[in-house]
Amino acid sequence: MKLDLATLHAAVNGSAAAFRCRRKLQPAGGPGDKVFPPTFAGAVYAVEQRCVFGEDGKALPEPKTCVVLDTVQSQANRMEQALQEALDAGRITIPVVRVDFTAWSPAGKKPESERLIDNVGIVSSLQLPHRLADAILRDSQTADGVRFRDSAMGRVLNTISQQNASALYRLCPTALLFGMWDSTGPKGGLGAKFERAMVSEVVGIGASIDQAHKSRGVRRDPLEIRAAVKVVKAADKSWSLASANAKGAEAPSSVNHSSVPFDSDNSGTTIEYAEQLTTLSLIVLRRLRFPIGDVVTHEADAAARTALAALALCAATLAFESGMGLRSRCLLWPDNEMKWELLANPGTKAEEYTISSDDAIDLLAEAVKVADNIGLSWEKTPVTLVPQAKLVDLVRLSQLEATKEEGNTD
Protein backbone atom coordinates (compact mmCIF):
# COMPACT_ATOMS: atom_id res chain seq x y z
CA MET A 1 0.00 0.00 0.00
CA LYS A 2 1.06 3.58 -0.56
CA LEU A 3 1.69 5.51 2.65
CA ASP A 4 -0.52 8.60 3.03
CA LEU A 5 -0.72 11.33 5.67
CA ALA A 6 -3.79 9.92 7.44
CA THR A 7 -2.11 6.54 7.87
CA LEU A 8 1.12 8.14 9.07
CA HIS A 9 -0.71 10.40 11.56
CA ALA A 10 -2.67 7.47 12.98
CA ALA A 11 0.44 5.31 13.31
CA VAL A 12 2.59 7.98 14.96
CA ASN A 13 -0.03 9.06 17.46
CA GLY A 14 -1.62 5.68 18.14
CA SER A 15 0.01 2.65 19.72
CA ALA A 16 2.25 1.45 16.88
CA ALA A 17 5.87 0.85 17.87
CA ALA A 18 7.84 1.61 14.73
CA PHE A 19 8.27 1.67 10.99
CA ARG A 20 11.07 -0.56 9.73
CA CYS A 21 12.68 -1.21 6.35
CA ARG A 22 14.87 -4.27 5.82
CA ARG A 23 16.71 -4.81 2.52
CA LYS A 24 19.39 -7.05 1.08
CA LEU A 25 22.09 -5.51 -1.10
CA GLN A 26 25.02 -6.71 -3.19
CA PRO A 27 28.20 -4.94 -4.32
CA ALA A 28 27.58 -2.98 -7.51
CA GLY A 29 30.18 -5.19 -9.18
CA GLY A 30 28.02 -8.20 -8.43
CA PRO A 31 28.14 -11.04 -5.89
CA GLY A 32 31.70 -11.81 -4.81
CA ASP A 33 33.07 -8.34 -5.59
CA LYS A 34 35.23 -7.03 -2.75
CA VAL A 35 33.89 -4.25 -0.50
CA PHE A 36 35.78 -2.01 1.90
CA PRO A 37 34.24 -1.57 5.37
CA PRO A 38 35.09 1.45 7.55
CA THR A 39 38.01 1.17 9.98
CA PHE A 40 37.74 2.07 13.66
CA ALA A 41 40.03 2.92 16.58
CA GLY A 42 42.89 0.45 16.59
CA ALA A 43 42.75 0.35 12.77
CA VAL A 44 40.36 -2.60 12.68
CA TYR A 45 37.06 -3.49 11.08
CA ALA A 46 34.01 -4.06 13.29
CA VAL A 47 33.78 -7.84 12.93
CA GLU A 48 31.51 -10.04 15.01
CA GLN A 49 29.54 -13.27 14.98
CA ARG A 50 25.81 -12.71 14.42
CA CYS A 51 22.78 -14.93 14.27
CA VAL A 52 21.39 -14.79 10.73
CA PHE A 53 17.78 -15.57 9.84
CA GLY A 54 16.54 -17.25 6.70
CA GLU A 55 13.57 -16.34 4.52
CA ASP A 56 11.35 -18.45 6.78
CA GLY A 57 12.19 -16.26 9.77
CA LYS A 58 14.16 -19.00 11.53
CA ALA A 59 17.77 -18.60 12.67
CA LEU A 60 20.37 -20.53 10.71
CA PRO A 61 22.09 -23.33 12.67
CA GLU A 62 25.40 -21.47 13.03
CA PRO A 63 26.23 -17.78 13.46
CA LYS A 64 28.00 -16.07 10.55
CA THR A 65 31.00 -13.78 10.50
CA CYS A 66 29.66 -10.29 9.85
CA VAL A 67 31.29 -6.90 9.36
CA VAL A 68 29.76 -3.45 9.80
CA LEU A 69 29.72 -1.65 6.44
CA ASP A 70 28.06 1.55 7.68
CA THR A 71 27.43 2.57 11.27
CA VAL A 72 24.34 4.16 12.76
CA GLN A 73 26.16 7.51 12.95
CA SER A 74 27.32 7.32 9.34
CA GLN A 75 23.86 6.36 8.09
CA ALA A 76 22.42 9.38 9.92
CA ASN A 77 24.99 11.62 8.22
CA ARG A 78 24.02 10.21 4.83
CA MET A 79 20.35 10.90 5.44
CA GLU A 80 21.10 14.46 6.52
CA GLN A 81 23.30 14.97 3.45
CA ALA A 82 20.45 13.76 1.25
CA LEU A 83 18.19 16.35 2.88
CA GLN A 84 20.84 19.02 2.31
CA GLU A 85 21.07 18.12 -1.38
CA ALA A 86 17.27 18.19 -1.73
CA LEU A 87 17.20 21.55 0.05
CA ASP A 88 19.90 22.96 -2.25
CA ALA A 89 17.94 21.69 -5.28
CA GLY A 90 14.76 23.39 -4.07
CA ARG A 91 12.90 20.09 -3.67
CA ILE A 92 12.19 20.55 0.06
CA THR A 93 12.09 23.36 2.60
CA ILE A 94 13.46 22.58 6.05
CA PRO A 95 15.12 24.80 8.66
CA VAL A 96 18.90 24.94 8.93
CA VAL A 97 21.39 27.05 10.86
CA ARG A 98 24.55 27.60 8.85
CA VAL A 99 27.96 29.25 9.06
CA ASP A 100 29.13 31.23 6.03
CA PHE A 101 32.91 31.20 5.44
CA THR A 102 32.73 32.64 1.90
CA ALA A 103 34.03 36.09 2.89
CA TRP A 104 37.29 34.38 3.93
CA SER A 105 37.59 32.33 0.73
CA PRO A 106 40.79 32.59 -1.37
CA ALA A 107 38.97 34.98 -3.73
CA GLY A 108 37.16 36.85 -0.95
CA LYS A 109 37.39 40.52 -0.02
CA LYS A 110 39.20 40.01 3.28
CA PRO A 111 42.87 41.02 3.49
CA GLU A 112 45.09 38.31 2.03
CA SER A 113 46.58 37.56 5.45
CA GLU A 114 43.09 36.65 6.74
CA ARG A 115 41.93 34.52 3.81
CA LEU A 116 41.68 30.75 3.90
CA ILE A 117 43.88 28.71 1.59
CA ASP A 118 41.03 26.41 0.61
CA ASN A 119 37.40 27.42 0.26
CA VAL A 120 35.17 26.11 3.07
CA GLY A 121 32.00 27.76 1.78
CA ILE A 122 28.82 27.36 3.83
CA VAL A 123 28.48 24.64 6.47
CA SER A 124 24.99 23.88 7.78
CA SER A 125 23.49 22.08 10.77
CA LEU A 126 22.68 19.22 8.39
CA GLN A 127 26.42 18.66 7.94
CA LEU A 128 27.67 19.12 11.50
CA PRO A 129 28.37 16.06 13.69
CA HIS A 130 26.58 17.48 16.74
CA ARG A 131 23.85 19.34 14.85
CA LEU A 132 22.63 22.47 16.67
CA ALA A 133 24.99 21.80 19.61
CA ASP A 134 28.12 21.60 17.41
CA ALA A 135 31.32 23.46 18.26
CA ILE A 136 31.35 25.13 14.82
CA LEU A 137 28.06 26.88 15.62
CA ARG A 138 29.18 27.56 19.20
CA ASP A 139 32.25 29.40 17.85
CA SER A 140 30.28 31.50 15.36
CA GLN A 141 28.20 34.67 15.72
CA THR A 142 25.35 36.64 14.21
CA ALA A 143 25.98 39.32 11.59
CA ASP A 144 25.87 42.00 14.31
CA GLY A 145 28.54 40.23 16.40
CA VAL A 146 26.51 38.32 19.00
CA ARG A 147 27.92 34.88 19.85
CA PHE A 148 25.56 32.14 18.74
CA ARG A 149 25.05 30.81 22.27
CA ASP A 150 24.25 34.34 23.48
CA SER A 151 21.77 35.04 20.67
CA ALA A 152 18.03 34.51 21.00
CA MET A 153 18.17 31.34 18.91
CA GLY A 154 21.24 29.99 20.69
CA ARG A 155 19.82 30.53 24.16
CA VAL A 156 16.99 28.07 23.44
CA LEU A 157 19.56 25.30 23.86
CA ASN A 158 19.54 26.10 27.58
CA THR A 159 15.79 25.49 27.95
CA ILE A 160 14.79 22.80 25.45
CA SER A 161 13.88 19.32 26.66
CA GLN A 162 11.68 16.39 25.72
CA GLN A 163 8.79 18.23 27.38
CA ASN A 164 9.57 21.46 25.51
CA ALA A 165 10.92 20.60 22.05
CA SER A 166 9.13 23.33 20.06
CA ALA A 167 12.18 25.57 19.59
CA LEU A 168 14.33 22.68 18.36
CA TYR A 169 11.54 21.64 15.99
CA ARG A 170 11.53 25.19 14.61
CA LEU A 171 15.32 25.51 14.18
CA CYS A 172 16.75 22.00 13.71
CA PRO A 173 14.16 19.20 13.53
CA THR A 174 16.76 16.65 12.41
CA ALA A 175 18.24 16.80 15.93
CA LEU A 176 14.98 15.30 17.19
CA LEU A 177 15.33 12.42 14.74
CA PHE A 178 19.03 11.63 14.79
CA GLY A 179 19.85 12.67 18.35
CA MET A 180 21.68 15.55 20.02
CA TRP A 181 23.52 16.16 23.28
CA ASP A 182 24.50 19.70 24.26
CA SER A 183 27.44 18.43 26.31
CA THR A 184 29.80 21.34 25.51
CA GLY A 185 27.31 24.05 26.53
CA PRO A 186 27.19 25.87 29.89
CA LYS A 187 25.43 22.91 31.56
CA GLY A 188 28.07 20.39 30.50
CA GLY A 189 26.80 16.85 30.91
CA LEU A 190 23.42 18.19 32.04
CA GLY A 191 22.85 19.85 28.66
CA ALA A 192 19.78 18.98 26.61
CA LYS A 193 19.86 15.40 25.34
CA PHE A 194 17.61 13.78 22.73
CA GLU A 195 17.85 10.10 21.83
CA ARG A 196 17.76 8.84 18.26
CA ALA A 197 14.35 8.08 16.83
CA MET A 198 15.77 7.07 13.43
CA VAL A 199 18.37 4.27 13.42
CA SER A 200 19.92 2.59 10.39
CA GLU A 201 22.86 0.23 9.92
CA VAL A 202 24.40 -1.75 7.06
CA VAL A 203 26.10 -5.06 7.81
CA GLY A 204 28.00 -7.43 5.53
CA ILE A 205 26.84 -11.01 6.11
CA GLY A 206 29.24 -13.93 5.62
CA ALA A 207 32.41 -11.81 5.50
CA SER A 208 35.84 -13.18 4.62
CA ILE A 209 38.35 -10.82 6.22
CA ASP A 210 41.71 -10.24 4.49
CA GLN A 211 44.46 -8.36 6.37
CA ALA A 212 47.25 -8.65 3.84
CA HIS A 213 47.64 -4.97 2.97
CA LYS A 214 47.63 -1.67 4.82
CA SER A 215 45.05 1.03 4.11
CA ARG A 216 44.00 4.26 5.80
CA GLY A 217 40.82 5.49 7.46
CA VAL A 218 39.66 8.81 8.93
CA ARG A 219 36.79 10.42 10.78
CA ARG A 220 36.67 13.76 8.96
CA ASP A 221 36.15 17.19 10.46
CA PRO A 222 34.47 19.33 7.75
CA LEU A 223 36.86 22.22 8.58
CA GLU A 224 39.98 19.98 8.43
CA ILE A 225 41.35 21.33 11.74
CA ARG A 226 44.96 20.17 12.32
CA ALA A 227 46.40 18.93 15.61
CA ALA A 228 49.57 20.97 15.05
CA VAL A 229 47.60 24.19 15.63
CA LYS A 230 47.36 24.57 19.40
CA VAL A 231 44.70 26.20 21.59
CA VAL A 232 44.48 27.25 25.24
CA LYS A 233 41.32 26.58 27.26
CA ALA A 234 40.00 29.03 29.85
CA ALA A 235 38.17 28.24 33.09
CA ASP A 236 34.82 29.28 31.56
CA LYS A 237 35.25 26.62 28.79
CA SER A 238 36.07 29.22 26.14
CA TRP A 239 39.33 28.92 24.17
CA SER A 240 41.84 30.99 22.23
CA LEU A 241 44.68 30.25 19.84
CA ALA A 242 47.92 29.48 21.64
CA SER A 243 50.93 31.67 21.12
CA ALA A 244 54.36 30.08 20.59
CA ASN A 245 55.43 28.03 23.64
CA ALA A 246 52.24 28.94 25.48
CA LYS A 247 51.76 27.09 28.76
CA GLY A 248 48.91 24.61 28.74
CA ALA A 249 48.58 24.54 24.94
CA GLU A 250 46.49 21.61 23.68
CA ALA A 251 45.38 20.13 20.39
CA PRO A 252 42.10 21.48 18.91
CA SER A 253 40.48 18.14 19.70
CA SER A 254 40.35 19.29 23.33
CA VAL A 255 37.70 21.83 22.26
CA ASN A 256 35.95 19.41 19.89
CA HIS A 257 37.63 20.52 16.65
CA SER A 258 39.54 17.73 14.90
CA SER A 259 39.80 14.90 12.42
CA VAL A 260 40.85 11.44 13.55
CA PRO A 261 43.17 9.71 11.03
CA PHE A 262 44.51 6.19 11.51
CA ASP A 263 46.20 3.36 9.62
CA SER A 264 44.61 -0.02 8.98
CA ASP A 265 46.03 -3.42 8.12
CA ASN A 266 42.68 -4.34 6.57
CA SER A 267 42.18 -4.28 2.81
CA GLY A 268 38.56 -5.13 2.14
CA THR A 269 36.49 -8.27 2.22
CA THR A 270 34.04 -10.33 0.24
CA ILE A 271 30.55 -10.95 1.61
CA GLU A 272 27.61 -13.20 0.83
CA TYR A 273 25.37 -10.13 0.85
CA ALA A 274 24.78 -6.89 2.76
CA GLU A 275 21.73 -6.12 4.83
CA GLN A 276 20.37 -2.70 5.75
CA LEU A 277 17.97 -2.35 8.65
CA THR A 278 16.34 1.06 9.18
CA THR A 279 13.97 1.68 12.08
CA LEU A 280 11.91 4.74 12.97
CA SER A 281 10.80 4.52 16.61
CA LEU A 282 7.34 6.01 17.04
CA ILE A 283 7.67 5.44 20.79
CA VAL A 284 10.57 7.92 20.90
CA LEU A 285 8.55 10.49 18.93
CA ARG A 286 5.60 10.15 21.32
CA ARG A 287 7.83 11.15 24.23
CA LEU A 288 8.25 14.62 22.73
CA ARG A 289 6.01 17.55 23.63
CA PHE A 290 5.54 20.71 21.58
CA PRO A 291 3.95 23.53 23.56
CA ILE A 292 2.79 26.66 21.75
CA GLY A 293 3.69 29.40 24.18
CA ASP A 294 2.87 27.83 27.54
CA VAL A 295 0.01 25.71 26.23
CA VAL A 296 0.45 22.00 25.52
CA THR A 297 -2.22 20.39 23.32
CA HIS A 298 -2.58 16.90 21.87
CA GLU A 299 -3.30 18.46 18.46
CA ALA A 300 0.03 20.30 18.35
CA ASP A 301 1.99 17.32 19.69
CA ALA A 302 0.40 15.02 17.11
CA ALA A 303 1.07 17.38 14.20
CA ALA A 304 4.74 17.92 15.11
CA ARG A 305 5.39 14.21 15.63
CA THR A 306 3.77 13.41 12.28
CA ALA A 307 5.91 16.02 10.53
CA LEU A 308 9.03 14.55 12.13
CA ALA A 309 8.05 11.05 11.01
CA ALA A 310 7.50 12.33 7.47
CA LEU A 311 10.91 14.02 7.59
CA ALA A 312 12.55 10.76 8.71
CA LEU A 313 10.93 8.73 5.93
CA CYS A 314 11.83 11.42 3.40
CA ALA A 315 15.48 11.43 4.53
CA ALA A 316 15.77 7.64 4.30
CA THR A 317 14.05 7.45 0.91
CA LEU A 318 16.16 10.22 -0.60
CA ALA A 319 19.38 8.70 0.76
CA PHE A 320 18.85 5.01 0.08
CA GLU A 321 16.17 4.50 -2.56
CA SER A 322 18.68 3.90 -5.36
CA GLY A 323 21.42 2.14 -3.42
CA MET A 324 24.36 3.41 -1.42
CA GLY A 325 27.83 4.65 -2.31
CA LEU A 326 29.36 4.24 1.15
CA ARG A 327 33.01 4.92 0.28
CA SER A 328 35.61 4.04 -2.34
CA ARG A 329 35.01 0.43 -3.41
CA CYS A 330 31.87 0.06 -1.35
CA LEU A 331 28.97 0.75 -3.70
CA LEU A 332 25.90 -1.34 -2.85
CA TRP A 333 22.85 -2.07 -5.01
CA PRO A 334 19.56 -3.23 -3.41
CA ASP A 335 17.81 -6.42 -4.45
CA ASN A 336 14.38 -4.79 -4.21
CA GLU A 337 12.55 -1.52 -3.58
CA MET A 338 12.19 0.04 -0.16
CA LYS A 339 9.19 -1.30 1.73
CA TRP A 340 8.23 -0.03 5.17
CA GLU A 341 6.61 -2.37 7.67
CA LEU A 342 4.40 -0.82 10.35
CA LEU A 343 4.78 -2.64 13.66
CA ALA A 344 1.30 -1.94 14.99
CA ASN A 345 -0.18 -5.07 16.58
CA PRO A 346 2.01 -7.71 18.25
CA GLY A 347 1.31 -11.22 17.03
CA THR A 348 -0.08 -10.11 13.67
CA LYS A 349 1.63 -9.63 10.33
CA ALA A 350 3.05 -6.15 9.89
CA GLU A 351 1.34 -3.94 7.32
CA GLU A 352 3.61 -3.07 4.40
CA TYR A 353 3.85 0.33 2.71
CA THR A 354 5.84 1.77 -0.18
CA ILE A 355 6.85 5.37 -0.72
CA SER A 356 8.95 6.89 -3.51
CA SER A 357 11.19 9.91 -3.06
CA ASP A 358 8.68 12.16 -4.84
CA ASP A 359 5.87 10.81 -2.68
CA ALA A 360 7.99 11.29 0.46
CA ILE A 361 8.64 14.93 -0.44
CA ASP A 362 4.93 15.54 -0.98
CA LEU A 363 4.07 13.77 2.29
CA LEU A 364 6.60 15.93 4.18
CA ALA A 365 5.21 19.17 2.73
CA GLU A 366 1.67 18.11 3.62
CA ALA A 367 2.57 17.18 7.21
CA VAL A 368 4.55 20.40 7.77
CA LYS A 369 1.64 22.47 6.47
CA VAL A 370 -0.72 20.87 9.00
CA ALA A 371 1.67 21.70 11.86
CA ASP A 372 2.17 25.21 10.50
CA ASN A 373 -1.59 25.85 10.48
CA ILE A 374 -1.76 24.84 14.14
CA GLY A 375 1.00 27.29 15.08
CA LEU A 376 4.15 25.14 14.98
CA SER A 377 6.13 26.69 12.14
CA TRP A 378 9.56 25.83 10.77
CA GLU A 379 11.98 28.61 9.91
CA LYS A 380 11.32 29.26 6.23
CA THR A 381 14.77 30.66 5.40
CA PRO A 382 18.21 29.53 6.63
CA VAL A 383 19.61 31.23 9.73
CA THR A 384 23.08 32.41 8.69
CA LEU A 385 26.00 33.01 11.05
CA VAL A 386 29.60 34.04 10.44
CA PRO A 387 32.60 32.39 12.09
CA GLN A 388 34.35 34.13 14.97
CA ALA A 389 37.85 35.39 14.16
CA LYS A 390 39.48 32.68 16.27
CA LEU A 391 37.61 29.95 14.36
CA VAL A 392 38.75 31.38 11.02
CA ASP A 393 42.32 31.53 12.35
CA LEU A 394 42.06 27.93 13.53
CA VAL A 395 40.87 26.80 10.10
CA ARG A 396 43.52 28.85 8.24
CA LEU A 397 46.40 27.57 10.36
CA SER A 398 45.08 24.02 10.01
CA GLN A 399 45.02 24.44 6.23
CA LEU A 400 48.62 25.68 6.37
CA GLU A 401 49.56 22.54 8.30
CA ALA A 402 47.78 20.45 5.68
CA THR A 403 49.89 21.97 2.89
CA LYS A 404 53.04 21.05 4.85
CA GLU A 405 51.83 17.49 5.28
CA GLU A 406 51.08 17.17 1.59
CA GLY A 407 54.42 18.76 0.69
CA ASN A 408 56.26 16.18 2.75
CA THR A 409 54.38 13.25 1.22
CA ASP A 410 56.39 11.45 -1.47
235 pLDDT tier (thresholds 50, 70, 90) = confident
**CA dihedral in degrees (90, 92, 98, 101; nearest 10)?**
-20
Q: What is the pLDDT of residue 410?
A: 35
d(CA 92, CA 97): 16
DSSP track, 23-87: EEEEETT-TT--B-PPPBTTTB--EEEE--B-TTSPBPSS-EEEEEEE-HHHHHHHHHHHHHHHH
3-class DSSP state of 280: strand
Compute the average pLDDT of residues 257-272.
Answer: 72
Residue-wise pLDDT tens digits, 190-214:
888 999 999 999 999 999 975 433 4
CA atoms within 13 A on the CB side of 370: 20
Angle at Cα 49 formed by Cα 47 and Cα 52, nearest 5°?
120
Q: How far is CA 402 from CA 225, 371, 396, in A?
A: 9, 47, 10
Q: How far is CA 214 from CA 16, 263, 266, in A?
A: 47, 7, 6
Contact partners, residue 335, CB within 8 Å, separation at least 6? 23, 24, 25, 26, 273
Q: What is the pLDDT of residue 213?
A: 39
- 95: region left, alpha or beta (phi > 0 left; psi from -120 to 50 alpha): beta
Q: What is the pLDDT of residue 265?
A: 59
Residue 305 pLDDT exceeds 50: yes
Contact partners, residue 249, CB within 8 Å, separation at least 6? 230, 231, 232, 242
Residue 297 pLDDT exceeds 50: yes
Q: Which secondary structure element, helix H or strand E, spans residue 263, and what is its range?
A: strand 260-264
Q: What is the pLDDT of residue 219?
A: 53
406 pLDDT tier (thresholds 50, 70, 90) = very low
Residue 153 pLDDT exceeds 80: yes
408 pLDDT tier (thresholds 50, 70, 90) = very low
Residue-wise pLDDT tens digits, 71-104:
999 999 999 999 999 999 999 999 999 999 999 9
Average predicted confidence (pLDDT) for the chain: 91
What percent of the chain stands above pLDDT 70?
94
Compute the average pLDDT of residues 377-386.
Answer: 94
